[in-house]
Amino acid sequence: MIRHHPDDSLLLAHAGSSLDTGPALLVESHLEGCARCRQVVRGFERVGGQLLEVESGQPLGQGALEAVLARLDAPVRVPPPPVVRPKPPLPAGYNWPRALRHCRVSRWRAMGPGMRWSRVSVPHDPLANVLLLRIGAGKCLPRHTHTGTELTQVLCGSFDDGRAVFGPGDFDEADADVLHQPVVQAQGECVCLAAVDGRLVFDSWIARLASSVVGL
């Protein structure tokens, strides 16, 4: 059961397509598994439809309707098969979000005992800072805070960061007000998708060294 959802302002921005690339990927991944948030977004889209109604209107080019009517019966172009980039394996029983299908995901790389990470490259926005963290059962990330916003979508497993327990499908937003140390629960490893705006600030020098390697 999903207990933690994106903030309403993120869902509103998603409906209006004003999210930056990283947050957009995270919110889309969450929506795939969350009927509650899809319903909220549908409400916001309904507002969008009403606002469209009161646009003053801008005339279309000459013959636009005829041009569109002529295209209606044209043979439907068979869409090329979507380019699905290969991904490293997830623990059994879990699938990659569809939102990531166009993205490149690097192989898992070690960043500490029982901790691995992987870079998610978004083709249309190479600067988007999106990554995957794969942390073993019972392991904990070093205690840290953030200079910007860190969005997290749990793909599998669960962690407790002292504020709450986050399980599969849960979404979290942490900023400079949050100093936390996520601890993965004993039942199994945890894989999270994260979008980071700004940098993570770790307490310990070892973690700072490791984070500089990862680019956080």
At 79, list the tokens. 């869409």
Nearer to other proteins, 111 or 120 (CB): 120
Q: How far is the CB of 32 from other proteins (least distance, A)?
A: 8
Q: How far is the CB of 132 from other proteins (least distance, A)?
A: 20
| CA distances in angstroms from 64 to 18, 26, 52, 54, 76, listed in the order given | 29, 38, 19, 22, 20
Which helix (H) or strand (E) segment holds residue 130: the answer is strand 130-135
Cα distance between residue 173 and residue 26, in whole Å: 11
Alpha carbon 85 to chain centroid, angstroms: 17
CB–CB of 172/5 below 8 Å?
A: no
Q: How far is the CB of 178 from other proteins (least distance, A)?
A: 14
Contacting positions for other proteins (CB under 8 A): 7-9, 11-13, 15-20, 31, 35, 38-40, 42-61, 64-65, 67-69, 71-72, 76, 79-80, 82, 98, 102, 123-124
Q: How far is the CB of 198 from other proteins (least distance, A)?
A: 11
Nearer to other proteins, 102 or 199 (CB): 102
Nearer to other proteins, 44 or 108 (CB): 44
